Amino acid sequence: MPVYYCTADEVRAAEAATGDLLTGGTLMVRAAHGVAQAVLTELRGTGGCYGRSVGLVIGAGNNGGDALYAGAELGRHGVAVTAVLLVPDQTHEGGLAALRRAGGRIVASLPAGLDAVVDGVVGIGGRGPLRPAAAAVFAALDPDTTVVAVDLPSGVDADTGVIHNPAVRADITVTFGVLRRAHLLAAEQCGRVTVIDIGLGAAGDGSVAALTDADVAAAWPVPGPHDDKYTQGVVGIVAGSQQYPGAAVLCTGGAVAATSGMTRFIGGAAPQVVAHRPEVVAVERFDDAGRVQAWVVGPGLGVDERAEAMVERVLAADVPVLVDADGLTVLARRPDLRSGRTAPTLLTPHAGEFARLAGAPVGPDRLTATRELAARLGATVLLKGRITLVADPDGQVYGNDAGSSWAATAGAGDVLSGIAGALLAAGRSPLVAGAAAARVHARAARAASRGVPIGASDLLGAVPTALRDLLVDEQGATGVQRT
């Protein structure tokens, strides 16, 4: 099932529902133990624990208390622990006493050469950037020091994932019970996320989630014994031009790689498409296209009157439609082209195209911006990025962390559109089609890159391998460790 991400208020409600576990301090004890174990595991993996050194950066409240109790446990394992108290008169008293009993030292500044530093500055209630005193502590750390954040990195908003400047960049984030939205929306700032079971029940409404590999594998249109090319889905692609034939080649290639149904192509780049993909049924005139179960329109199409007429004809069809690239520019100029549509629509903008559609830049709160545009347009919106967000008009969001930005290369979006369009033709909802396509697309980019820059053709070539690996391993991987 999908991985769900909760708001700060939902986390607080789940904590309050535990009753005595919260008021009696049991939740804090469990949380602190989880933080300590995460640090100990890191130290053991790099030479053992005894005699190693760990620093704590302590703010006010329970987040600092978690870090202090964790430091006390580290001290009992022979780790030399030092702590900087940013707000001495608001430091958690019980945690501070425990740290001192375990031999921990309070210092004005952290010593050099620490093996790890625990960020206990602020928790899910934090707002805005690090204050100057905290920022100075982290700025002075050795570059190779492992940073472990308690709950989430300080300077990152829990609900929006907005990364303020300055903010802590963690190698490991240890959180409790349930994931926070920032763990998805600011994944690059959180590092590896470990979820500690502290006894919380279910939390949140599930409106922000991420599909696992197992979810994607289960949703993928694998042919059954009675399927044929038509039941697997026929996708029509209107893309490319004499000036941009590559967009047509990449988009149709993505569609062919995604499913075993049929791909039709309409446009002036038909000879180039067939030269690369002879299985594509390619024609130049829309009237010769034949029936399809979904359309993709826009990549490399241009924005002239001919392109506008093609976008209009596609959007008039009573089947699901994916609009991308130049098609989005046309749609931003002619929003009336959506009038009367009742069939599903999936829009796949990058940040610049999003701004044209919305009439304003995305801004730092990408989640709210994507949701609001989807609701306003009555369409599903896929906002591209390392963290791809797919929002439907009802506010359900699926996010996908690509884990890197190797897919940030010209033409990669054309491949994504082909994959998602094929899934639409196979009957998947725009929300699932967009999210599943984004996950396979990201896997293909990682497989193709192997740590070096790639082009979109390389990414396209890796789609079958990425898809094969995903379908074979139906257990999937969420990128989240649970202990």
Q: Which residues belong to the annotated binding site for AMP?
A: 384-388, 413
Q: Which residue type, as a one-letter code, is found at position 108?
A: A
Which tokens belong to 84? 């900087």
Q: With 0-12 CB in 10 A as exposed, 13-18 as middle and 19+ as buried, what is 260?
A: middle
∠ CA 285-289-294 to the nearest 5 degrees?
125
Percent helix, strand and coil across the chain, each to the nearest 5: 40, 20, 40
Binding-site members for K(+) are 63, 119, 154
Closest to 83 in 3D by CA, of 37, 113, 118: 118
Place of tokens 């826009």: 298
Binding-site members are 62-66, 119, 123-129, 151, 154, 247, 300, 350, 384-388, 413-414
Binding-site members for (6S)-NADPHX are 62-66, 123-129, 151, 247, 300, 350, 414
**Burial 358-384, CB ≥16 within 10 A → b, else e:** beeebeebbbebbbebbeebebbbbbb
Contact (CB, 8 A) for 248 and 265 = yes
Question: In angstroms, what CA-CA distances link 111 with 57, 105, 337?
Answer: 12, 11, 63
The SS3 assignment for 268 reads: coil
Strands 480-482 and 234-238: unpaired
Beta-bridge partners for 18: none
Contact (CB, 8 A) for 476 and 216 = yes
Q: 95-102 contacts: CB < 8 A, separation 24 or more?
A: 95/32, 95/64, 95/65, 95/66, 95/67, 95/68, 95/69, 96/68, 98/68, 98/69, 98/72, 99/56, 99/68, 99/69, 99/71, 99/72, 99/75, 101/72, 102/71, 102/72, 102/73, 102/74, 102/75, 102/76
Q: Which residue type, as a one-letter code, is found at position 220?
A: W
